Amino acid sequence: MRRFRSAILTLAFAPAIAFAQAAPTVAIIVRHAEKGTTPANDPPLTDAGTARAKALAAALVNAHVQAVITTQLVRTKDTAKPTAQALGLTMETVPVSGAVADHAKAVADAVRKHVGQTVLVVGHSNTVTQIIAALGGPKLPDLCDSQYSNFYTLVIDGASARVVLSSYGAPSPELATGCPAMK
């Protein structure tokens, strides 16, 4: 599985590096891991979520992540924490406030401050695909509420951006049964 993740990352990065004058900016965008139900406004991760957060850190060990961006909510911070700790990075917070499009733009602006770097972004089911679009990637449907395993690698090279979708950790139920939002 590690070789598969490394191969995906290598394939995603190689064309941009070969053709670009400067190194591309790479945004690795994930939804927070599985969350509990209480407190309703800011639940922590479940045991499955904690395991997924550790799986994310393992998946990114060789991805050369240089920055980590989360929201102020505990579930995004706890998802990113194992990766940040393993790499000795401080997490940057872009608070969720206002409209989703405004938040996505604020996250995109934060990513753009890391030109030529690899940035991990941990978002929410309704923000992940909006962030991809705000960074110049394709418009994709929002994630399903119980979908946690998607791993988007967005390579931003000048005016163009391309995205590679893969997964990490345990499969989400929608990957086996079909998620209406992803059809």
Can you list the alpha helix ranges (DSSP code H) found in the chain?
A: 2-19, 47-59, 74-87, 100-112, 128-134, 173-177
The confidence score (pLDDT) of residue 12 equals 54
The residue-averaged pLDDT of 48-74 equals 98
What whole-number distance in Å separates Cα of residue 176 and Cα of residue 180?
12
What pTM was computed for the model?
Answer: 0.85
Per-residue pLDDT band for 17 (boundaries 50, 70, 90) equals: very low
The confidence score (pLDDT) of residue 160 equals 86
β partners of residue 93: 70
Whether 124 is covered by a domain: the verdict is: no
Whether 32 is covered by a domain: the verdict is: yes
Whether 49 is covered by a domain: the verdict is: yes
What whole-number distance in Å separates Cα of residue 24 and Cα of residue 102?
24
Whether 148 is covered by a domain: the verdict is: no
Per-residue pLDDT band for 158 (boundaries 50, 70, 90) equals: confident
Q: How many domains does the chain have?
A: 1
Residue with the larger pLDDT of the pair 158 and 93: 93
Whether 57 is covered by a domain: the verdict is: yes
Q: Which domain holds residue 58?
A: 1-62+74-87+162-168
* Residue 40 token pair: 């309703």
Whether 156 is covered by a domain: the verdict is: no
The confidence score (pLDDT) of residue 33 equals 97
Whether 27 is covered by a domain: the verdict is: yes
Is residue 129 predicted with pLDDT exceeding 80?
yes
Whether 179 is covered by a domain: the verdict is: no
